[in-house]
Amino acid sequence: MEFDLFLLMVSLGFVGSFFSGLLGIGGAIINYPLLLFVPAWLGVAHFPSQEVSAISMFQVFFASLSGILGFRKRRGKESALIHKGLVKDMGGGILLGSLLGGFASRFLPSASINLVYGILAVVAVGLMLIKNKGNDEERLEISYSRLIAIVSAFIVGIVSGIVGAGGAFILIPIMLTILRIPTRVTITSSLAIVFISAIGGVLGKLTTGHIPFWPVLFTVIGSVLGAPLGSRVSGRIDVVYLRYGLIVLICATVIKIWSDIL
């Protein structure tokens, strides 16, 4: 076990999850390029895209599990805002999709997985630039199209399972703008849906055999430390400029990935 690998993976897990918690975006969008490029640049390790997506998926699983446990500790009025029907519909769709996506990544070449990430990253940048506002009215009865909810969650689950993401950065805008779910219900319900997605993704990745145990463990340790700290810091500073800086970083990553593909 090399100390350099331990230090690097813990650091990458910490940095990725810290900025995820700080900016309130999906961790995989940050973690995927960090894991793909930084270890190779530093000459510490080289992870193919299949292994990068597996590491990212396990990181998302434990990060979302940490979020669920944190929510259980502070739940009160918020627990009533979790829409069980919505979680059941979208959770079922995303579970099946992420399971299939995680399994399918076994048969995809690195270029294809990078292509999926490149498309997701472009979508993420667009969503970060456009504010999606939902209905802030708290309603006891929420009506939505079950078909759209299930199908959209299934599609998000497939692409998320491939690259090792939870899909929150796409799910939340869908819930707000297409399904017209109230904002607070969306935020609380999406936590449970993303956790279900992570379960399916992890199960799918377990069938691939592309799971480097020690890098996964080290990265998870860093992410468990980084995410809560980022969430606490976010309430104390203005993160607008950091968000735009991250957009530039993601765009540079997209250019790099697309140039390699083309």
Stated pTM of the model: 0.83
**In this predicted structure, which of 10-14, 37-41, 131-135, 189-193 has the lowest mean pLDDT?**
131-135
Q: How far apart are CA 198 and CA 128, in angstroms?
A: 22
Banded pLDDT at 94 (limits 50, 70, 90): very high
Name the more confident of 90 and 180: 90
| Contact call for residues 26 and 20 (beta carbons, < 8 A) | yes
Torsion of CA 222, 224, 227, 231, to 10 degrees: -140
pLDDT: which is higher, 162 or 180: 162
At 89 the pLDDT is 96
Distance CA 239, CA 131 (A): 15
Mean pLDDT calculated for residue range 80-105: 90
Q: What's the mean pLDDT when you consider all of the chain?
A: 83
Distances (CA, A) of 56 to 24, 50, 236: 17, 10, 28
Tell me the C-alpha distance between 196 and 165, whole Å.
Answer: 12
Spell out the residues 6+ positions from residue 116 whose beta carbon is closer than 8 angstroms to its own. 159, 162, 163
